[in-house]
């Protein structure tokens, strides 16, 4: 049994789409990044890679590699899923918390869970996603960015 912790943060900017968990969310700002900047998927990938001692997403998808420019993070998650499987791990569960003052995310969480479960080929019941605010405090509270914390549990296939 192995536990992995992931964390990611991206700045909110104008003229970008807001994508979380592979879901396009209507909002006047989006996340800045080399890929689609899906901060939720990035934190999940880092938790999975950490639990399996395979490094972090920068090792596999460097932000200076043109192949990953504006790529869907779900495609990257699929590659991480293959790495996990190749190293004989099975995902037991993933629990993530999105930290953002706006927009309200509860209407989109079910679709996020479904996208992630489908990409990882696991049951949606193994994916938990919550959203919270920081009551106006810090960079997330002021609307400057969005952060995500993610933890996962893996088991080795014997």
Q: What pLDDT digit, counting tens, does each position of 86-102 carry?
A: 999 999 999 999 999 99
Label each residue of the chain as H, E or C: CEEEEEEEEEEEECCCCEEECCEEECCCCEECCCCCCCHHHHHHHHHHHHHCCCCCHHHHCCCCCHHHCCCCHHHHHHHHHHHHHHCCEEEEEEEEEEECCCCCCHHHHHHHHHHHHHHHCCCHHHEEEEEECCCCCHHHHCCCEEEEEEEEEEEECC
Does 42 belong to an annotated binding site?
yes
Average confidence (pLDDT) over 7-14: 97
Does 61 belong to an annotated binding site?
yes
Q: What is the pLDDT of residues 98-151, one digit of tens each?
A: 999 999 999 999 999 999 999 999 999 999 999 999 998 899 999 899 999 999
Does 144 belong to an annotated binding site?
no
Asked if residue 50 has pLDDT above 90, the reply is yes
Does 17 belong to an annotated binding site?
no
Does 63 belong to an annotated binding site?
yes
Does 27 belong to an annotated binding site?
no
């Amino acid at each position: 049994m192995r536990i992995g912790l992931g964390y990611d943060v991206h700045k909110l900017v104008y003229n970008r789409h807001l994508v979380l968990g592979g879901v396009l969310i209507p909002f006047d700002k989006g996340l800045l990044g080399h890929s689609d900047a899906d901060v939720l998927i990035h934190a999940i990938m880092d938790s999975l890679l950490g639990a399996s001692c395979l490094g972090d997403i920068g090792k596999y998808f460097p932000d200076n590699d043109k192949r990953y420019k504006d790529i869907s993070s779900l495609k990257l998650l699929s590659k991480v899923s293959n790495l996990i499987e190749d190293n004989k791990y099975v995902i037991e569960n993933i629990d993530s918390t999105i930290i953002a003052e706006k927009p309200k995310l509860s209407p989109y969480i079910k679709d996020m869970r479904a996208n992630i479960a489908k990409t990882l080929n696991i049951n949606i019941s193994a994916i938990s996603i919550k959203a919270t605010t920081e009551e106006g405090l810090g960079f997330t509270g002021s609307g400057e960015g969005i952060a995500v914390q993610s933890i996962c549990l893996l088991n080795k296939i014997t």
